[in-house]
Amino acid sequence: MTELAQMTYKEVALDDVAAIEGLVAVFVGGDGKMDACARKVNGLSRKAVARLVSSPAFEAMPNATAVRLAFPQGLAAEGIVVVKLDRRPSQEDARAAGAALAKEKGPANLTVLAGNLGRIADVALGVALRDYDFNAHKTAPKKGRGDVAFMVSKPDEIDTTAIHAIAQGVFFTRDLTNEPANVLTTIAFADRLAELQSLGMKVEVLEEAELEALGMGALLCVGQGSVSPSKVVVMQWNGGGDEAPFALVGKGVVFDTGGISLKPALGMEDMTMDMGGAGVVSGVMKTLALRKAKANVVGVVGIVENMPSGNAVRPGDVVTSMKGDKIEVVNTDAEGRLVLADVLWYTQDRFKPVGMINLATLTGAIVIALGHENAGVFSNSDPLSGAFLKAAGLEGEGAWRMPISKAYDKLIDCPIADMKNTGGRPAGSITAAQFLARFVKDETPWAHLDIAGVASVSKPTTLSPAGATGWGVMALNRFISDNYEA
């Protein structure tokens, strides 16, 4: 796994600043006022900080951004990083400032002179998340990412457990989503999840024979063209009392060729990220375990590979779901909903959850609708969707509620079976959600998150480099914390 930078927290010692090597960071508000830490560095550097702050360049800098002054006189440090940030920043600005520090840091060690700055934990989380670097398959010598030391007024008040748990969960999701499919096979994926048992989680891996016995014909048809066996992994975190768990369900297609309905070659290499929903579920479960969440949560992921072969499911085939419904597979590239249909039903049948959220890189249509800024939220429950949207907003992870209604059902009605697996291009993301809704029991509050546009991006975001983002780990962790923990 990609390792987090080592982070330490200690009391401010201004007399030690001149001898600090690597990079030294200070914060200056938009009004140009410097705290004791910034004034100390300014004095040692012969007023280099003051010259920057009084310049038009500093005035033009957006809030929560940084600039680096290289090789300052009077300090052992190789550079001073000046961050423009108010003393009592918002959570969003604090994390963005941390991300700005990470971009300036690179492989160097960094000492952050934060003093009594507000939201230091969020600054630290921003540093950790933006410092991610997936380089497992590069042969060049690794430079490392450098350690980060925070000098603060009250180090004992920083919740380092929460920072570590969230960052580890996001990194886990990003690593899984970034891995190529010849490395993250269905077997390897299940093995990585089984390792979460070391954190006190109960993990079960259901093999194909068990899935056949359960009647998961929809899930199994997706993987029947691959030499890699299909699996379902069940992760249980029992940190609460005797109450029924909340359920998280994920689509884990480790590679999606489209099957017999073969995708175009251009861009198909990106389909290693089609297990992004299962990746997010896995990252959330890891975060909950690391911080010892006082809640009962079950994560269930269906892991398959969609390949064309002589054994592959064909357009026009009819398969039987675990629920018993018959599905005509009119397009083998609409495979994720087939996986989720059986996993959703299994999760409800076995665990009787108090609520359920599934995540999937399900449709290109949601990217057309919402771009790469928001995930689509479809739900049968206003309270559940409202609670999730609130948590996503608090964590700065974009999400937007989309409609579902019986009016769309006619698009997936089928003359030879109970339903077909796609309604075509019109309302593509909505008909996919309508398909899933047929496998949700009336008594189960449920939300479907279509994360096709946010799971992996081609350009860096504020808190992540290009590639897998880990979107959803922070929002779902907050959702569980705010709604299901005492």
Side-chain-side CA neighbours of residue 408 (13 Å): 21
**CA 443 from centre of chain:** 28
Question: Among the options 39, 87, 263, 326, which is catalytic?
Answer: 263
Instruction: Provide the 10 A C-beta neighbour count for residue 431.
Output: 26
| Contact criterion met (CB below 8 Å) for 457 and 467 | yes
Which of 336, 322, 334 lies closest to 412 in space, CA to CA? 334
The secondary element (H helix, E strand) that includes residue 343 is helix 336-351
Alpha-carbon distance values, 284 to 61, 173, 477 (Å): 35, 8, 6
Instruction: Provide the 10 A C-beta neighbour count for residue 460.
Output: 14
Which amino acid is it at 158?
I
Q: Which residues contact 405 (CB under 8 A, 6 or more apart)?
A: none
Alpha-carbon distance values, 67 to 14, 29, 52, 267 (Å): 22, 14, 9, 36
Question: Among the options 95, 337, 438, 478, which is catalytic?
Answer: 337
Alpha-carbon distance values, 394 to 3, 389, 390, 477 (Å): 26, 9, 6, 11
Decide if 47 is catalytic. no
Phi-psi region of 258 (alpha: psi -120 to 50; beta: other; left: phi over 0): left
| DSSP three-state, residue 450 | strand
| Contact criterion met (CB below 8 Å) for 308 and 391 | no
Decide if 326 is catalytic. no
Structure tokens at 293: 């969440």
Q: How far apart are CA 37 and CA 81, in angstroms?
A: 12
Structure tokens at 252: 């884990």
DSSP assigned state of 81: E
Q: Which residues are catalytic?
A: 263, 337
